[in-house]
Amino acid sequence: MFQHLSKHCVCKCCVQISRYKHSRSSVLTAREALSSSGAVLVLWLTSGNANPVCFSSLFRFKDSRMEDVWLVDFYAPWCGYCKKLEPVWQEVGAELTRSGSPVRVGKMDATAYSGVASDFGVRGYPTIKLLKGELAYNYKGPRTKDDIIEFANRVAGFSLTTHNIFFLKNTIMYIHEKYTEVASELIVYTYFFSASEDILPESVALHELPSVVVFKDGTYFTYDEYEDGSLSSWVNRERFQSYLPIDGFTLYELGETGKLVAIAVTDEKDPTERSGRLKGLIQRVAAEHRDQFNRDFQFGHMDGNDYINSLIMGEVSVPSIIILNTSNEQYFVPAEPVEDLEQLLRFFSSVLDGSAPAFGGDGIFQRIKRVAYDARSTVMSVFRSSPLLGCFLFGLPLGVISLMCYGICTAESDDDTELMKRDGFTDEEEDEGEEEEQQQLTAGAEGEDDEDREKIDLVCENFRTSLGAPHVTVLSYKSTQTQTLTVLKWKVFVLINNHYCNNVPL
């Protein structure tokens, strides 16, 4: 029954009668988006030989939009990611034609038709949407040919196996309606099937009918309304395998399940014994302790730590274990390196009971730190990829700012000069004034030196009188000057009875 599904389909639910005609319960309907505009679409059409053919003519999109299933790439001509997607998009169109898919592939310049793009909820480029009837489904997965084709076939309902089942009671009809509603909402994430009990293998034992069952991880799990809450929440939680490889695309999809994401960070290019042990421990927790942790945790491993480092704005060692909360950007790391299963189980339990410290978050400080970190990362990436371009992009603005500052400073100096000229002063007059002031200071200093000499002579005369030494010779004295006040520190050297006396008190 499920052999034709790709490896990305990890959740299959049974209990519906056939493929579903989606109701208007979706958030956005295509009819509303196109009701007021005759939008024009530039198409990449596919010919019968499955080779993409580009037609330069414009197609009236509104007229045939409701009759067909469209996979549309909303792009911007200047967008680098859009240009990178273009060859993949041509391969998608060719492959869908070869396989006989009813999905038609097109692309729209969202900058030229911004009104239509806005009506469809396009906020960035490229944006891939599948338009089916009145509904528009947004694609958030990896931009590879296989992933896009798998998404298109799943949402379009192409080649799904259905089995007839009769609904005879009101309770069954109620579940049928709820299942249809959930399928309409979550068809972008997984496949939905309907089947009768007789097609199930004997190993699948259902206690009551109807039932909603998910098949994954080599086994199956049955929905219990009393224990699992709403059907939509349960399907959303169970749409991934318990353990899977994680990348940047799948990480936030895992976060949309409302679970914490437990990741073994490894280096697949250089595997070590410790990397294999950590992956094995997380796999054991996912399989052997499902009842305890499955409701709160999604498990997996990630190759390399670059994405994690940019997410937490820090450094994660490889190999290691980290738990991410994508809803508030918090993360948890073990206090000590994990060595065995018991230690890992205690770490998971401490996260659930709140005893483990949380790092990061989305507070004001973290937001400011995020802005600075992103700016630094952008600058570093530009210089790493193209140093010359980096010098031009960042050197030119710095040069302009420097010139502006220089101009402001010189403008103030020129203003002072003009003011002096208006007051009757010239540069020559200012220089003459400075010379006169210097001469006055010099004359004052000489006068003070004469006074100091007279004081010293008086001191020497006192020595001659008090010591009875008529022959006192003054050898030298020193003075120091501080700014405008001359401070004399006399150091009188005298020769008394053929002995030198130093620092004689005055």
Name the DSSP letter for residue 113.
T
- Residue 342: exposed, middle, or buried by beta-carbon count in 10 A (0-12, 13-18, 19+)? exposed
473-474 and 297-303 strand pairing: unpaired
260-266 and 127-132 strand pairing: unpaired
Catalytically annotated residue among 82, 391, 460, 501:
82
69-75 and 103-109 strand pairing: parallel
Q: What is the 3-state secondary structure (H, E, C) of 240-259?
A: CCCEEECCHHHHHHHHCCCC
Extract the tokens encoding 454: 């007279």
At what angle are helices 170-186 and 231-238 packed, to 10 degrees? 50
Is residue 8 within 8 Å of 118, Cβ to Cβ? Answer: no
Q: Can you tell me the distance from the alpha carbon of 358 to that of 294, in angstroms, rounded to the nearest whole number?
A: 21
Extract the tokens encoding 305: 């730590």
The yes-or-no answer on residue 82 being catalytic is yes
Q: Can you tell me the distance from the alpha carbon of 37 to that of 101, in angstroms, rounded to the nearest whole number?
A: 28
**Integer CA distances (angstroms), 211 to 79, 155, 179, 183, 191, in order:** 47, 23, 10, 15, 16
Strands (E), 326-438: 330-332, 359-360
Extract the tokens encoding 456: 């010293």
Catalytically annotated residue among 9, 79, 460, 501:
79
Q: Which residues are known to be catalytic? A: 79, 82
